[in-house]
A and B are shown apart, each in its own frame.
Chain A
């Protein structure tokens, strides 16, 4: 009985990991295929949720040496609420660039003077990771 089943079982086991079967199973799940295709070519997560952006931005602000962590909120203005000057603001924006692996052009960076604007910019940036 067992000897009769053996070839049948082996054939099954050998077949399933073949590339053809993998491709077929990937094709039947388009999302799986997309994930499989995008994974090795992209070093960052394609999707960054707004909550995640807000959390990480708050963390960046709180860890800045001149910022009082208790004053940091998602609505905070860098100069009015956190007491930063224009030089500190430049440093904070640079820290945000580093955190999200972005390069913010000067013109855009000059406009970012509050957390709502920073959240808006990072959340809408396709390369933010």
Chain B
């Protein structure tokens, strides 16, 4: 695990992690949390785009941890789903 985390992630691995984070974020039933996870993932990946090998490996490992957190929280939050939709989700008539 430690050895695997030390190697810099490939481009495909990074994009796959990004996609997994977006997919997981989409499962939140609360609009605000859904949008936050999407924004948070996009901002962090963009901020870290020019990292060298070692920091990229650390950031990638951190991203994977965040993905686990998001997966767990999506399940927890689904038990406390908001009863009403956010006004942002309403379609304009």
Chain A contact residues, CB within 8 Å of chain B: 86-87, 90-91, 94, 98, 106, 109-110
The verdict on B31 contacting chain A, using a C-beta distance below 8 Å, is no
Bound-complex Cα distance A91 to B15 (A): 10
* Least Cβ–Cβ distance between B38 and chain A, in angstroms: 8
* Known interface pairs A98-B26, A109-B19; 18 further A-B residue pairs with C-beta atoms within 8 A, sorted by A's residue number: A86-B11, A86-B15, A87-B15, A87-B18, A87-B42, A87-B46, A90-B15, A90-B18, A90-B22, A91-B22, A91-B42, A94-B19, A94-B22, A94-B23, A94-B26, A106-B16, A110-B12, A110-B15
Q: How large is the interface on B (under 10, 10 to 19, 20 to 34, 35 or more residues)?
A: 10 to 19
Bound-complex Cα distance A109 to B49 (A): 20
* Least Cβ–Cβ distance between A26 and chain B, in angstroms: 35
Q: Which chain B residues numbered 4 to 37 have a C-beta less than 8 Å away from chain A?
A: 11-12, 15-16, 18-19, 22-23, 26
Bound-complex Cα distance A54 to B19 (A): 24
**Residues of chain B with a CB closer than 8 A to A87's CB:** 15, 18, 42, 45-46, 49
**Interchain CB contact under 8 A, B11 and A106:** no
**Residues of chain A with a CB closer than 8 A to B19's CB:** 90, 94, 106, 109
**Can you list 10 A-B pairs, Cβ within 8 angstroms, ordered by A?**
A86-B11, A87-B18, A90-B18, A90-B19, A90-B22, A91-B22, A94-B19, A94-B22, A94-B26, A109-B19
Instruction: Closest B residue to A93 by CB, please name it.
Output: B19
Instruction: Closest B residue to A98 by CB, please name it.
Output: B26
Interface flags for B41-56 (1: CB within 8 Å of A; 0: not) read 0100110010000000
* Least Cβ–Cβ distance between B62 and chain A, in angstroms: 17
Bound-complex Cα distance A12 to B86 (A): 53
Q: Which chain B residues numbered 64 to 90 have a C-beta less than 8 Å away from chain A?
A: none
